Amino acid sequence: MAAPKFPTLQLFSPEFLICAGAILFQPPRDRPDSPLQVCILFHPQKDEYLLPKGRKDISENPYHTALRETYEETGYPCDFLPVRMHTRAPQAGEDIKDTANGRELFPLTEPFAMTFRNVGGGTDKNYKMIWWFIAKVTGEKQEGTMTASEGFQSCWFSETEVVEKLTFESDRDVVRKALELVRATYVTDST
């Protein structure tokens, strides 16, 4: 028996949970000096600021999960915001070799990050995989979109405030990268 060529962690269905979420932006403005606005969640009972995300339903793909969970938890209808970013994924039908840094393409609505969290602690195999997307608001806030077990308040913050508001450093890292991608795609220097 040969060992895998690369270090490998293999999980079976009881050992992992697929989740998805989105960094929700107000649509970028035409003016470069207009700060970006990001919607995050406040959980009053835990006194935590979080990103909208949740579990993938059976037979649902992570793209739909990200939009559904973001809508349910924030109340804002949304869609993906295409950005310019590096990806290792080929275009449909394309035959290219995988490279470590991929290549930069636009427009992309692929996941821009993935958080791999061991929620079992220690050596327990209990992992949560969170796919992160970038989204934009497409309509007015709707009330009553959360499930009964959720008690979030959606809050808008400017790009200069949002990172400091988030409770967890991993969420801050995800937002920093999303801001970098949206700025690089939509915000130009007017000088």
CA dihedral 175, 118, 75, 35 (to 10 degrees): 0
Kindly list the domain boundaries of the chain, sorted by start residue.
15-89+103-186
- The answer to whether 107 and 83 are in contact (CB under 8 A) is yes
* pLDDT by position in tens, the chain (length 191): 888 888 988 999 999 999 999 999 997 666 666 789 999 999 999 999 999 999 999 999 999 999 999 999 999 999 999 999 999 999 999 999 999 889 999 999 999 999 999 988 767 789 999 999 999 999 999 999 998 888 999 999 999 899 999 999 999 999 999 999 999 998 765 44
Q: What are the structure tokens assigned to 179, written together? A: 């801001």
pLDDT of residue 64: 98
Q: Which residues pair with 136 in a beta bridge?
A: 25, 79
pTM of this structure: 0.92
pLDDT of residue 28: 62
* 15-89+103-186 CATH: 3.90.79.10
